[in-house]
Chain A
Amino acid sequence: MTTRQVTYDRAYGSLVRTATQSGIEVKPVYTPQDIADIDYERDIGLPGQYPFTRGIYPEMYRNRLWLKAFIVCYATPEETNRAFKEYIAAGQTGLRILTDTTTLSGVDPDHPLARYDIMCNGNPTFALTEYETMLDGIPLEDVDYESANSTPSGSFFTAVFLVGLVEKMGCDIKRLRGTNINDPIQAFILYGTPEFPMDLARRVTTDLIEFGAKYTPRWHPSTPDGYNMRDAGIDTFRELAFCIANIIQYYGDAIKERGVKLDDFRPMVFSTSAESDFFETACKFRALRRMWARIAKERLGATKPDSMKCRIAIRTAANSMYPQKPINNTARVAYQILGAVLGGVQSIDPSGIDEVFGEPSPESRIFELDIQHIIAHELNVPLVADPLAGSYYVEWLTKRIEEGTWKILNEIDAQGGMWAALKSGWLKQQFDIPTINLYKEIEEGKRLIVGVNSFKGEDGAISRAIIDSAYKVPADPKRFGAIDKVKRLRATRDERKVVDSLNELYRATRDGENIVRPAIEAAKAYATVGEMVGAIRMASGYCYDPYEMVQTPPFMKHLEPSANR
């Protein structure tokens, strides 16, 4: 009888690196000497006290847990509405909106290039009708709405439609809560959609901030999209530096040009990523709070403690989720959430364990909520604020992340800010090189990803079920239904109102006024995203269609300057 022989290697699975995910070389052990230059009162302090390293509330999660917020974006507004209601019943407290890829690009479903992506990654919210259906029966006041639409037009129209809907339903826009991810500089690198060129995107962002300061005190008009930037492959220093520099740019513009003050806003919101590197993730949030407190106070003129606090909204790293042995994604997302909770964040949007195969299925969404309920009620982690504080390693790493981030921030300052860094091409380079290096490290085995470049294996029954459970884009006939829908809307709405409101949007844009209010009025008259983008573009000297594939619609021809006709 022959028996199968195995080789035994005691060292199998040993560590292959001594650096964190962002390449910070670390020692085997840390001692009081490593934090000798950290002053407890000055640099750490109590939660709820400047510089807020340990958190923004004195009792942190005892009084309020983080928001359980994730994107709900199924193919139609009806499906999305049903899903929101199901998830709210299961404990979702932050309602994140994501429109489909077509609308996000600033056009309507009947655009010739739209056929590929209608209903992909969300439902096509091309007009207020779709918001009416999507949020039907869900309270509009005192509910946290977060927008994940982070192209220049995507951010703009989320604000426009939400405010428009609140007003149309007779509710108070002062009680609209939540956050708008609005970060055109990030969008020019990562989306590259051309609907609002740089001059327009910059102006629209300033318009949104000014409008927010005056009319929607609880709806944060502009938070940078650090999550998207990080997910593209940059390190933690750049993620924090670009977020902070973008805020300095956007709010600096609004303070200078529109006379708003940082004190006009609720605490700033930072949208960032929770990665697999556990301590780097937790320490990043501590470093960010400390840095923001100083920048808000010393650079942006904040005088109220609230304006020196930042609320951190995280999404767990989608690029850490792999299709190989997808059961492992359950471990990744759970630890990323735990890292974020230990870092004291205010809002958590986890990846679906099946989202590398499509949109997260309902069961994977409920599972994410349950991970958070388990952390809260079985692990007992949120009982004590900032429990990692005082660890030699944690305090050293927090400081090390802060130092690396200041270095990048100084480079950006030397160039004259983020718009300048974008225009010079410096920013794009900052993205491409680390991304390529990251993938090279994986390819060369210098960074092990379980099931991907190491510890490989076959998918078993559980992994197969995860693969099969993801929500898939509907078949083409259903997707193309959105084309008929937008055509039906055009045929049935009050065209006089549409034309008048688009005329006003055009005029306000041309005359350099704040265009948020006229856009809200156009949205309430059921003008579409494509039409409003067109009016804003034409008033700024650009052609109607950002992709130069369709003509100006006849009813908008009169808006066209004769040179463009």
Chain B
Amino acid sequence: MTTQTRKIKVVLGKVGFDPHDRGVIVLTHALRDAGMEVIFLGKFQTAERVVKAAIDEDADVIALSDHCGVMRLIATDVMAELKRRDATDIVVVAGGIIPEEDIPYLESLGVTGNYRAGTSFQEIIDHITSRVKKERWREV
């Protein structure tokens, strides 16, 4: 019962110089409309800053966006920083232009979703909700 009022908190960020932010801006609004609490950190972030913001804000989810084809490196750095700061319980999802051959590696790191253009918001919302309920709130 209590979980009905509990809001999922998501930190969105773009690491590096990739300027393409329309996708992440639109997603910010879609997640908010779905009742989540969303913080978009903006562009030109470092892995350290994204992880710090997620810890400081007590976020359930980090959502990473990249259109340069280098999610592999961004995710590696973010996951290493989460480990260093003992915060691997934060759910990490990703989207943008992600080379298909990198997806198994990203999944092996625990970075899921890996959505591309044209994915419905509902699919992303359902995925985030299900991971948070299972991994953070221990609901099945």
Q: Please report A residues at the B interface, Cβ cutoff 8 Å.
A: 101-102, 104-105, 107, 113-117, 120-121, 151, 190-194, 232-233, 319, 322-324, 356-358, 432, 435-436, 439, 443, 449, 452-453, 467, 472-473, 476, 547
* CA of A472 to CA of B102, assembled, Å: 11
Cβ–Cβ contact A116 & B16, under 8 A: yes
B30 partner residues in chain A, CB cutoff 8 A: 439, 443
A-binding residues in B (CB < 8 A): 15-19, 21-22, 25-26, 29-30, 42-44, 46, 66, 68-70, 73-74, 97, 99-100, 116-118, 120-122
B46 to chain A, nearest CB (A): 7
Cβ-defined contact, B99 with A322, below 8 A: no
Contact B25 A435 (CB under 8 A): yes
A-B pairs with lowest CB-CB distance, top 3: A116-B16, A120-B68, A452-B118
Which residues of chain A come closer than 8 Å to B43, judged between CB atoms?
A: 192
Given contacts A101-B17, A358-B97, A435-B26, 11 further A-B contacts (CB under 8 A): A101-B19, A116-B16, A117-B16, A319-B22, A319-B117, A323-B117, A323-B118, A453-B118, A453-B120, A473-B69, A547-B44
Other-chain contact of B17, A104, A323, A449, A472 (Cβ < 8 Å): A104
Q: Which residues of A contact B42 (CB under 8 A)?
A: 192
Question: Contact: B117 with A356, CB < 8 Å?
Answer: yes
Contact at B120–A356, with CB atoms within 8 Å? no
CA distance A452 to B122 in the complex (A): 14
Q: Would A322 and B73 count as touching, CB distance under 8 A? A: no
Whole-angstrom distance between the Cβ of A125 and the nearest chain B Cβ: 14
Tell me the complex Cα distance, A110–B97, Å: 24
Among A104, A324, A358, A439, chain B packs the most CB atoms within 10 A around the CB of: A439
Chain A residues near B116: list those with CB within 8 A: 323, 356
Q: How far apart are the CA atoms of A247 and B57 in the complex, in Å?
A: 43
The residues of A that contact B73 with a CB separation of less than 8 Å are 115-116, 476
| Contact B118 A357, beta carbon cutoff 8 Å | no
**B-chain residues with CB within 8 Å of residue A319 when the two chains form the complex:** 22, 117
A435, B17: Cα distance in complex, Å: 22
Contact A116 to B17, CB < 8 A, known contacts A356-B116, A357-B97, A439-B26: yes
Q: Which residues of B contact A443 (CB under 8 A)?
A: 30, 120-122
| B22 partner, pick from A104, A233, A324, A449, beta carbons under 8 A | A233
Say yes or no: B26 contacts A358, CB within 8 Å.
no
* CB nearest neighbor in B for A233: B22
Cβ of B25 and Cβ of A432 under 8 Å apart?
yes
Closest B residue to A467 using CB positions = B100
Residue of B nearest to A549 (CB): B46
Complex: chain B residue closest to A471, CB-CB: B69
| Inter-subunit contact B17/A356 (CB<8 Å) | no
- Is the beta-carbon distance between A120 and B120 smaller than 8 angstroms? no
Q: Do residues B19 and A193 form an inter-chain contact, with CB atoms below 8 A? A: yes
Q: Nearest residue in A to B28 (C-beta to C-beta)?
A: A436
**Inter-chain contact B25/A117, CB cutoff 8 Å:** no
Residues of A within 8 A of B120 (CB): 443, 453
Question: Quick check: A113 and B97 within 8 Å, CB to CB?
Answer: no
Task: Please indicate the chain A residues that have their CB under 8 angstroms from the CB of B70 in the complex.
Answer: 116-117, 120, 473
Question: Complex Cα distance A354/B18, Å?
Answer: 19
By beta carbon, the residue of chain A nearest B98 is A357
Residue from B15, B68, B74 having most chain A Cβ neighbours under 10 A: B68
Residue of B nearest to A321 (CB): B117
A113 touches B46 (CB 8 A): yes
Can you list 21 A-B contacts (CB < 8 A)? A101-B16, A101-B17, A104-B19, A107-B17, A114-B17, A115-B16, A116-B73, A116-B74, A117-B70, A190-B19, A194-B44, A322-B118, A323-B118, A324-B118, A356-B116, A356-B117, A357-B97, A432-B25, A436-B26, A439-B121, A472-B69
A473: nearest chain-B partner, CB-CB: B69
- Cβ–Cβ < 8 Å partners of A193 in chain B: 17, 19, 44
Question: Which A residues are in CB contact (< 8 Å) with B118?
Answer: 322-324, 449, 452-453
Which B-chain residue is minimally distant from A232 (CB atoms)?
A: B22
Tell me the complex Cα distance, A230–B69, Å: 23
- B122 contacts A116, CB within 8 Å? no
Bound complex: CA A453 to CA B123 (Å): 12
In the bound complex, residues from chain B placing their C-beta under 8 Å from that of A117 are 16-18, 68, 70
- CB B82 to nearest CB in A, in angstroms, measures 17
A191 is contacted by which of B19, B26, B68, B100 (Cβ under 8 Å)? B19
- Give the CA-CA distance A173 to B23 in the complex, in Å: 41
CB-CB under 8 A for A116 and B18, given A323-B118, A443-B121, A476-B73: yes
Residues of A within 8 A of B74 (CB): 116
Q: Please, how many angstroms separate the alpha-carbon atoms of A547 and B43 in the complex?
A: 11
* Residue of A117, A151, A190, A453 with most partner-chain B CB within 10 A: A117
Cβ–Cβ < 8 Å partners of A192 in chain B: 19, 21, 42-44
Q: Please give the distance in Å from B54's CB to the nearest CB on chain A.
A: 18
Contact A101 to B29, CB < 8 A, known contacts A191-B19, A324-B118, A356-B97: no
